[in-house]
Amino acid sequence: MNDSYQKRLISFIIIATLFSTLFFTFVSSPQRYLIGNLFKKPINTSVEYDNLDIELYENPVIQTHSNRDQKISLSSELTSQYMPRFYNRPELVAPTLASKINQKPLIEDIGVAELAWKRDGLQEVLYQRNKPYTGWFQEGGRRGYFYQDGMRQDLSANELIRRQVSDLFTSNKYPFYITPHNRREHFTLKPIKYSILIKSPSLSIYSDPPGLLSARYVQNTQDLIDSPMDVTQELTNQYGTWLHVYFGYDELGWIKKDSNYSDYVLTYYSERELLDDVEATLETYLGYVSATAGASFVNSEHLTQVSVNNQIFFPASTQKIYVLGKIYELYKTGELSPDSMVFLSDENRVPGAGIIQGDPNGTQYTVDYLVDLIALYSDNTAANMLIEVAGEGEWITPFVHHFGLKDTFVDGKYYHGSTNRRFQTSPGDAARYFALIARNELNGEPWDRQLIQKLMTNPWRFLSGYIPSNIVTWNKTGLGSTEQNDVAAFETDYGTYTLAVYTENPYNYDAIPDQMGILSKAVFDVYINHRLLLWEPVTDIKAYFEEKERETLIENDSLPVEEEVAY
C-alpha cells in the first residue's frame, strides 16, 4: 500500500510541476497582451499598418521595435514569430472577384504576341500586354480586321488600300521589338509583284528581313548570277527596304533592295507566269489525250515544277532510267566498271523488247554494252541483268528516294510479276529525275553527261515529234498493252526543261503518241515565249513599276478592270 501511495504522489508532483511551468511561461509572459489583443480584434489584411489603432502602442513587444514618432511596420520576422500561422498564408492575398486584376476578367489567351480577349462590361475587348490593342489582327484563318483600342473597326475598301495592308497574314508575321518591353509593328509592307535578274555574287539572302528576331542568314548569290527571281513584297523597317523573293513558287528569302539596280536589274520575265501558263497548257492538252493521262514539267534552270494529274502510273520501260542512274553511281564509287562482265541466265531471260533474249546461257556482256542495249532497244533482258547487278530493289529504290522521289519503286524485274513487289513511278518523279541529270546533280560530272549521251541514241520519241530539229533532246519511252509513257529533256538556247507524260486505260491507243507530241510542242512554245523576255531590257523603270502596281491592285480586287462596252 505504501509503495502504491508513494508512486501516485510522485506522479501528481510531476504533473503539477509541468502545468505550473507552462502556465507561467504563456500566461505570465508579456506576450499574453499581444495574443489577447489578436483575439479581441480580428485581423484585416486590407488595413494599412500606419493606421493601426493607437492602443497597440501599449503592447510591450511593439514598443521594443518601434518609436512613437515613427510609422509602425510589422516586419516579416515579427509576423512569422509572433503572429498566428494563418497570417502569412497565400490564400489571403489571392485575387478575388473584387480585386483590381479581375475588373476586366480574361476570356481567352490567344497565345500569340501576348494578345488576349478580356471582358470590359458587356463587351469583349482585345488586349495586348494588359492594354487595349490597336492594329491589325487575323485569327483562325478568318478575315483580318483593324482594331482601335481593342474594338474592331469596319474599314472601307479605300481605307484598306490607304493602309497598305492587303496581305494581313504577312503583316502579323513580321513584328519586331523596339525595346525588350514595348512591342511595335514598326514597318511598312507593300504587296507588289515584279521580277529581277541577279547580277551581284555577294548579295545576301535572309530567312526574314534583318531587324526581325527570326532573321537568319541563308546564303549569298554567288551561284545565282543571271537567275531570275519573283518579288512578291517590299518591307521597309529601320534597317532599310527588303524584297521577298522566290524562284517561281519556291521561297528563297529576303534580299536588300537596290534602288541603283547594280546588284540586280529589272526583267519582264516571271518564273511564276511561266509555271502558270505551262500548267494551263497541260490541263488543256491532256484533255485531248485518248487515255487517262498525267504530266509534269520542270524548268531545270531552278528545278521549279508544275504537274497535272500527278498520280501513280505503271512505268513500263521508263523504269529503266532509275536502274541506269544506280549503275552510274556504282561507276562513280568504283564498285563497278563499264568493262565489268555479266553472264546471261534463264533467271533474267524475258520476252518483249530487246535482242539478246535468244542468246545461250552463259553468254558474257560488258555492263557498258548492256547500257547501250537499254538505250537503243529498251532491252528487257539487259535491264533484268543490270537490275541484278545494281542490287535490285533493296539498293535501287533507296537510291531514288534519296532525291525525294518517293512515288517511285523498282522492287522487281521485268516479267517477274509473281515475285515483284512495287513497280511504279509518277510523271512528277520522272520529270524531276531527268532535271537532276540535266543539272549534273544525280551523280555529277562526268557520269551524268555520259548517261545523257547514251539516252540520246533512243530512236523512240513521242514528246519530241513536233519539236524543231535544232533542239537537243534526250528521252526514255515506255510502252505496254495499256500504257504509253515518255520522259524527255529539251536543251534550248534559252534554257533546259524536262517533260514527262504518262498514260493508262486508252480508248484510242494508236492516236496517243501523236497527241503527246502536240502537247509537248504547245509546252515548248510557252517556254520559249516566256524565256525570250529575259533578253528584253527594261528601259523605262517608272512605267514598269506603274504597270506592276496596277496589276497588283487588280489582282487584289482593289482596282476595277476596264472592260470594253458594246454600244
Residue 206 DSSP SS3: strand
For residue 560, pLDDT over 50 is answered with no
Grouping H, G, I as helix, E, B as strand and the rest as coil, residue 239 is coil
CATH of 188-270, one of 3.40.50.150, 2.30.30.170, 2.60.120.580, 2.60.120.260: 2.30.30.170
Per-residue pLDDT band at 138 (split at 50, 70, 90): low
The string of pLDDT tens digits covering residues 511-543 is 999 999 999 999 999 999 999 999 999 999 999
Give the residue, 554 or 203, on which the prediction is more confident: 203
Evaluate whether 188-270 and 275-534 have a shared fold: no
16-70: per-residue pLDDT in tens? 777 666 655 554 444 444 444 444 444 444 444 444 444 444 545 445 444 444 4
Judge contact between 45 and 93, C-beta under 8 A.
yes
Peptide bond into 209 cis (omega under 30): no
CA distance linking residue 180 with residue 465, whole number of Å: 65
Query: What does each C-alpha distance from 21 to 27, 100, 402, 434 come to in angstroms?
Result: 10, 50, 88, 101
3-state secondary structure of 328: helix
Over residues 304-336, the pLDDT tens digits come to 999 999 999 999 999 999 999 999 999 999 999
Lowest mean pLDDT among 108-117, 209-218, 258-267: 108-117
C-alpha 212/C-alpha 219 separation (Å) is 17
pLDDT tens digits for range 205-225: 999 898 877 888 999 999 999
Compute the average pLDDT of residues 218-243. Answer: 92
Task: Confirm or reject CATH 3.40.710.10 for domain 275-534, answering yes or no.
Answer: yes
pLDDT at 178 (0 to 100): 42
Q: Which three cell numbers stand for residue 405?
A: 522521289
In this prediction, residue 451 carries a pLDDT of 96
Q: Locate the domains of the chain by residue range.
A: 2-93, 100-184, 188-270, 275-534
Give the chain's count of helices (H) and strands (E).
15, 25
